[in-house]
Structure 1
Amino acid sequence: MEHRGDAGRDSLEPDCGTGELRDRVAEFVRRRVMPCEPVLDAGGPAAAAALRRLREGAKEAGLWALPLPVELGGQGLPLARYARIAEAEGASDHGPAALGSAPLLDVTMLWNHGGDRVRELYPKRLTAGELRACYAMTEPGTPGTDPFLTATRAEEQADGGWRVSGRKWFTSGAAEADVVTVLARTDGEDGDRSGLSLLLVPTGSPGFRVVRELPVFGAAGQWEIEFDRVAVPADHLIGGRGRALAVAGERLQLGRTLRCLRWLGQAQRAFDLMCERAGCRTGSRGPLADHQLVQQHVFEALLALRTTRPLVHEAADRIAAGRDAHVEVGLAKVAAARMLQQVADAAIQVHGAAGLGPDTPLPALFRTGRAARILDGPDELHVTSVARRVLRAYGAQGK
């Protein structure tokens, strides 16, 4: 059984109340969610039934929808406190869905930027787990780092509604989603730096189609979808016409930070497994823990964890305080993705052949770390963006 130790932790500890809640979340994820991972990973009816049971258990335990607004059925935990819990929740990829925090980004976006009709129909049901949402931005054949080249179009109709046409891919959870927020061009030409809007599309609408699944290193959950003149009501425009990038930027900063927090939890899980393996595995030359090269793996992994965690929490704290966090989020995203890949790789090395097989979560953790360096913005995008912002600041000081 996996045990989550404290060796990977540093002095960034929460207050007592948050610490107790984090321990309860960690226990739920370790004892309830992780044993179900093989079934949940496989998908299908068995996975849906397992997820329903986990959600019922989370509600009974008082752990449901911790960061969602109280008025929508959540528990209203502020981001500054939730950040200390998100690591424990995210130690399993299925933790956020099982505990009801997965729709946080969609609920926040729809509640803050949706009209009356959208706010009436969706946020409460998303918070309750009755509906699922997804977010479609990236397109085949179009650089995901350049949204101005978005090819998906939305044509305004006489009644004020829209007809959406185009394709999106690497859309997480699209096959199970009830609604999808889609980035589309409503004005201007390809490449224009304005004219992009967000529209909320019910997936049961005629013309919406799931094209195919896109496994990432063999893992399910990503999809390619198509819109063939899908009708969207006028009141399902999110954030106003032409305001997509402002709304998306707000969403992306919070989303990337949440993912970084969850990657910390997954790296801690890999670190714990590595240390346990080193301590209990004995060969003809004694325990692995006595080997200097194994000790180096442990040291380097611990160093990566300890140096990355403050970066991630700095980003979370700035967002929670309503301050600009572009630099902090960029640093955290690159550091956390690299760190997860590094720690998972070291844990696999210490496990040997066992680390490559199906008996540990290490292959999945390594896969998540490697994919994280591309999905949600490749390393190169964040490196360039952060460097430009920093250099601009120095240029402004020199004038």
Structure 2
Amino acid sequence: MNRGQQIAARVETFVRERIVPYERDPRSTAHGPTDELVQEMRGLAREAGLLTPHILADGGHLTHRETADVLRASGLSPLGPLAVNVMAPDEGNMYLLGKAASPELKERFLKPLVSGEARSAFFMTEPADDGPNGAGGAGSDPSMMLTTAKRDGNHWVVNGRKTFITGAHGAKVGIVMAMAEEGASMFLVDLPDPAIRIDRVLETIDSSMPGGHSVVTIDNLRIPADQMLGQPGDGFKLAQVRLAPARLTHCMRWHGACERAHEIAADYANRRHAFGKPLVDHEGVGFMLAENLIDLKQSELMIDWCADVLDTGALGTVESSMAKVAVSEALMRIADRCVQVMGGKGVSGDTIVEQVFREIRAFRIYDGPTEVHKWSLAKKVKRDWKAAQG
């Protein structure tokens, strides 16, 4: 086994033996597991030497291909990525800070994330009812950003509203995107801050991320100039550094969850009898499980292919869009079949199958809806056609 596979094997054993029993813990709420539960599980991971396993002791990072093995193993429980500290948005934020932050900013903001002592939030998306005539702010189209950043001496002053900010409630590190005169820019901030007000935590279909998803008002937030990430106007360029790997790591984690859901559904279909034989022997059920195997393997190969592209140093924008569409849609089919195979039990909270179904449905929207990625890919088709005409 290579390095990633060795770590993944240890993570899988840890998640199955130590974290799966927490799935019935009442500290998992509609707005995600409580920080008390997260820290308790991370304590176990720390003892096992498996906390933040994708980042090495010297600060280096596993390859994307190695990370795929580790994150798939962590995803075998919805709580697994949190326990070993590879969950969104922290994993993507750690990756970005590792690539783009100065040594001083890494010490102050990255170190507590890697140690698992702090959570983070990425403030980009804006409410759809903001803007002229309700046109909305930044969402799938980040160029519509309305949050502003204005210079004031050796500070920047940020104002605006944000929404669907995952983990803002309880986060200690924030990455705020705002539009400066030079263009979109990123800032690092300590949280909580009285200038960042959580208006409400949204009621959403998913429930795996601590703090839930918040609507936030930023009112005259003063940020020292040395807490800007990169230079003024670098925001979209830096977002691209984070974007493709973050899309793919979502695919990795939820692939593991669907693998586990399939295991549960297959066990149910082999134990449950109807009309004189096990459910699995009924073609309608058996074929659904067979299709799950196909979708799982195709998704695995798509993830590994995109990871290999990223490991060449390429941005992988096109490849990650293709992988996000293919994998999220395939995982949705798998989760849906698992629910269907298990019938009434599949829509109950007796197993994680129902939760995985909800999480994957949200995943088809998060990090870019399927339709936006297809639109982007269609534009590439047009560009390539034009280029071929000479």
| TM-score of the two chains, using structure 1 as the length reference | 0.89
Of 82, 92, 117, the residue aligned with 2:77 is 92
- In 2, distance between residues paired with 1:206 and 1:84? 40
* Runs (4+) off by over 6 Å: 43-46
Residue 266 of structure 1 pairs with residue 257 of structure 2: yes
- In 1, distance between residues paired with 2:194 and 2:31? 24
Of 160, 165, 168, the residue aligned with 2:159 is 165
Of 356, 378, 382, the residue aligned with 1:387 is 378
Which residue of structure 2 aligns with residue 7 of structure 1? none
Please give the secondary structure, in 2, of the residue aligned with 1:304: helix
- In 2, distance between residues paired with 1:373 and 1:397? 33
**How far off its partner does 1:34 sit?**
2.1
Q: Greater shift after overlay, 244-253 or 368-377?
A: 368-377
Residue 327 of structure 1 pairs with residue 327 of structure 2: no
Residue 243 of structure 1 pairs with residue 238 of structure 2: no
8 Å Cα contact 1:139-1:150 kept in structure 2 = yes
The root-mean-square deviation of aligned C-alpha atoms, in Å, is 2.1
Which residue of structure 1 aligns with residue 190 of structure 2? 202
8 Å Cα contact 1:70-1:76 kept in structure 2 = no
Structure 2, unpaired ranges of 5+? 129-135
8 Å Cα contact 2:184-2:232 kept in structure 1 = yes
Please give the secondary structure, in 2, of the residue aligned with 1:269: helix
Of 57, 73, 80, the residue aligned with 2:65 is 80
Cα separation, partners in 2 of 1:319 and 1:45, compared to 1, 3 Å:
closer
Aligned residue pairs, count? 376
- In 1, distance between residues paired with 2:163 and 2:257? 25
Residue 153 of structure 1 pairs with residue 153 of structure 2: no
**How far off its partner does 1:16 sit?**
5.1
Cα separation, partners in 2 of 1:252 and 1:238, compared to 1, 3 Å:
same
- In 1, distance between residues paired with 2:317 and 2:168? 28
- In 2, distance between residues paired with 1:327 and 1:218? 27
- In 1, distance between residues paired with 2:155 and 2:328? 40
Which residue of structure 1 aligns with residue 171 of structure 2? 177
Of 286, 290, 294, the residue aligned with 1:299 is 290
8 Å Cα contact 2:146-2:179 kept in structure 1 = yes
Cα separation, partners in 2 of 1:44 and 1:291, compared to 1, 3 Å:
closer
**How far off its partner does 1:101 sit?**
2.6
Of 133, 150, 162, the residue aligned with 2:120 is 133
Residue 110 of structure 1 pairs with residue 100 of structure 2: no
Residue type of the alignment partner of 1:87 = R
Residue type of the alignment partner of 1:377 = G
Please give the secondary structure, in 1, of the residue aligned with 2:164: strand
- In 2, distance between residues paired with 1:20 and 1:281? 35
Question: Which string of whole-angstrom CA distances, capped at 9 and with x for unpartnered residues, describes residues 120-154 of structure 1?
Answer: 31111211122221101110022511111111111
Which residue of structure 2 aligns with residue 345 of structure 1? 336
Cα separation, partners in 2 of 1:232 and 1:324, compared to 1, 3 Å:
closer
Cα separation, partners in 2 of 1:324 and 1:197, compared to 1, 3 Å:
closer
Question: Which string of whole-angstrom CA distances, capped at 9 and with x for unpartnered residues, describes residues 184-214 of structure 1?
Answer: 0111xxxxxx611111122232311111111
- In 1, distance between residues paired with 2:24 and 2:175? 29
- In 2, distance between residues paired with 1:151 and 1:168? 9
| TM-score of the two chains, using structure 2 as the length reference | 0.91
Please give the secondary structure, in 1, of the residue aligned with 2:216: strand
Residue type of the alignment partner of 1:35 = P
Superposition pairs of residues 223-238 of structure 1, within 5 angstroms: 223-238=214-229
8 Å Cα contact 1:263-1:336 kept in structure 2 = no
Which residue of structure 2 aligns with residue 26 of structure 1? 12
Which residue of structure 1 aligns with residue 52 of structure 2? 65
Cα separation, partners in 2 of 1:242 and 1:76, compared to 1, 3 Å:
closer
8 Å Cα contact 1:115-1:235 kept in structure 2 = no
Please give the secondary structure, in 2, of the residue aligned with 1:122: helix
Of 363, 372, 377, the residue aligned with 2:354 is 363
**How far off its partner does 1:112 sit?**
2.6
Q: Greater shift after overlay, 334-343 or 246-255?
A: 334-343
Q: Percent identity?
A: 32
8 Å Cα contact 1:279-1:289 kept in structure 2 = yes
Question: Comparing both chains, which one has the higher relative contact order based on Cα–Cα distances under 8 Å and sequence gaps of 6 or more?
Answer: 2
- In 2, distance between residues paired with 1:328 and 1:301? 23
Structure 1, unpaired ranges of 5+? 1-14, 188-193
Which residue of structure 2 aligns with residue 12 of structure 1? none
Please give the secondary structure, in 2, of the residue aligned with 1:70: coil
**How far off its partner does 1:99 sit?**
0.6
